[in-house]
Amino acid sequence: MKLQNSDLFRQQCYLNGKWVTAEKTIEVLNPADNSVLGSVPSFGAEETRGVIEAAKDAYVIWKNLTAKERSDYLRRWFDLIVAHKEDLAYIMTSEQGKPLAEAEGEVLYGASYVEWFAEEAKRVYGDTIPMSQKGKRIVVLKEPVGVCAAITPWNFPSAMITRKAAPALAAGCSIVVKPAAQTPFSALALAELADRAGIPKGVFNVITGPARTIGEEFTSSAIIRKLSFTGSTPVGKKLMAACSNTVKKVSLELGGHAPFIVFDDADIDAAVRDAVASKYRNSGQTCVCTNRFIVQEGVYQRFAEKLTVAVKEQLRVGSGFDKDVNQGPLIDLNAILKVEEQIKDACDKGATLLAGGKRWGESGYFFEPTILMNVTTDMKIAREETFGPVAPIFVFKEESEGVAMANDSEYGLASYFFSQDIARCWRVTEALEYGMVGVNTGILSSEAAPFGGMKESGIGREGSKYGIEEYLEIKYMCLGGL
């Protein structure tokens, strides 16, 4: 890999402050051309138990540092991530495929959580509460939950780790991270920088290997007190069930099926601009990407036409390393097959193809940015998460019908709508069964905002002042004899 600092490309795991190799390894491929980038250890149950033990020892030391000391470590980690953003972006584009500029954007976005929680570390306040009985006082203490585990996906190889590890470390917890098999190098580069930041051994660990084996050790361990998972809803459900044996706390950030409603009174040009950003970011491979455009009758035709022009003019498919490319490959063949199946199903049932619809290029997992019109709720794409560059457009008449269509999903992560009517903006925001609502914007992620979902999209929030609470226990002290 062509890096300014080649030590950031690590093919070992970072366990208890040491770089460790294994006899058995897993190859990591570049999704743009299927070339082998390198390999990482395939560790199993024994090594996972070992690193959990190490994290337990580290926890005792880490939680007893002052909040200011933990904050300083996080701040140094943040500074190092920012200083190496170009190399980190290069590693990410190599293993994940997203265009280099987008990769650098993710590195900085991920770093913003480290900075944010370096600051929040110092503001973990308790409470005093008036008591109804004489001679006693109620005091609320906040304490770290203990040793944590994180399982993260491939679509945001860096930010999904910092979003969990930074609040955990800020709260005083240690953490063991299992990154996705497709994108371990971004995680290991973060570990290298955590090491350089001087974060004590065992506080931040990265282990790679078969997901199920490591997942079972995490969920069954009595030492791990909290599991934070970002990934698909079926896997999240299994992990939640497995955590019940030890009554572990869980944070789950699962699938989404984001609606994007365009009302007749919307600024259509603004809606189209943000529709492109919301749908085609990371080639449609984010859990907050729009999955359904739900457009009111009066602007349906105009919105579809303008979106088609914008997609054809603005989106360029190709290697993430090419400067003018903004649509990288999908992660693997399965991703392509799923998108193809949804498009075929929709077209068989009467949808009209306005753009794209097929694979792109000779090698790699590229797919053309696609738009489907006349999409109806009996089609697979209306319910199944797409995770690819396909924009289906549905039509509705009345506001209540549009909102009902938007809510007709087991998911409840992100939602968006465009309207210039202030009363409608408030009304529709309250009516949407989603954890996040973008009003006149298609991009809403921020380290300062609570990210998370309702319904089957998950439990808990990441980022913001609420994010650190996920890693804190409340202890009530009743002080008597006064």
Check: CB of residue 165 under 8 Å from CB of residue 467. no
Q: Is 287 a catalytic residue?
A: yes
Question: Which residue's CB is nearer to ligand ADP, number 27 or number 265?
Answer: 27
Shortest Cβ 98–ligand ADP spacing (Å) = 14
3-state SS, the chain, equals: CCCCCHHHCCCCEEECCEEECCCCEEEEECCCCCCEEEEEECCCHHHHHHHHHHHHHHHHHHHCCCHHHHHHHHHHHHHHHHHCHHHHHHHHHHHHCCCHHHHHHHHHHHHHHHHHHHHHHHHCCCEEECCCCCCCEEEEEEEECCEEEEECCCCCCCHHHHHHHHHHHHHCCCEEEECCCCCHHHHHHHHHHHHHCCCCCCCEEECCCCHHHHHHHHHHCCCEEEEEEECCHHHHHHHHHHHHHHCCEEEEECCCCEEEEECCCCCHHHHHHHHHHHHHHHHHCCCCCEEEEEEEHHHHHHHHHHHHHHHHHHCCECCCCCCCCCECCCCCHHHHHHHHHHHHHHHHCCCEEEECCCEECCCCCEECCEEEECCCCCCHHHCCCCCCCEEEEEEECCHHHHHHHHHCCCEECEEEEECCCHHHHHHHHHHCCCCEEEECCCCCCCCCCCECCEECCEECCECHHHHHHHHEEEEEEEECCC
Question: Which residue's CB is nearer to ligand ADP, number 300 or number 367?
Answer: 367
Question: Which residue's CB is nearer to ligand ADP, number 153 or number 259?
Answer: 153
Shortest Cβ 240–ligand ADP spacing (Å) = 11
Question: Which residue's CB is nearer to ligand ADP, number 34 or number 352?
Answer: 34
Three-point CA angle 135, 141, 146, nearest 5°: 145
Shortest Cβ 39–ligand ADP spacing (Å) = 16
- Annotated catalytic residue, options 217, 287, 399, 462: 287
Question: Which residue's CB is nearer to ligand ADP, number 146 or number 153?
Answer: 153
Closest by CA to 27, choosing from 44, 7, 42, 6, is 42
Question: Which residue's CB is nearer to ligand ADP, number 74 or number 151?
Answer: 151
Shortest Cβ 402–ligand ADP spacing (Å) = 29
Q: Give the integer Cα–Cα distance in Å for 270 and 273.
A: 5
Strand bridging mode 13-15 / 18-20: antiparallel
Task: Compute and round to an integer the Cα radius of gyration of the chain.
Answer: 23
- Annotated catalytic residue, options 120, 253, 385, 447: 253
> Rounded to an integer, what is the distance from CA 193 to the centroid of its chain?
21
Q: Give the integer Cα–Cα distance in Å for 213 and 150.
A: 14
Q: Is 425 a catalytic residue?
A: no
Question: Which residue's CB is nearer to ligand ADP, number 240 or number 351?
Answer: 240
Query: Which residue, chain included where needed, has tokens 């290997």?
Result: 209
Residue with nearest beta carbon to ligand ADP: 215
Question: Which residue's CB is nearer to ligand ADP, number 80 or number 243?
Answer: 243
Q: Binding residues for ligand ADP, per CB under 6 A?
A: 151-154, 178, 180-181, 211-212, 215, 231-232, 235, 238-239
Question: Which residue's CB is nearer to ligand ADP, number 203 or number 287?
Answer: 287
Q: Give the integer Cα–Cα distance in Å for 33 and 47.
A: 33
Catalytic residue ranges: 253, 287
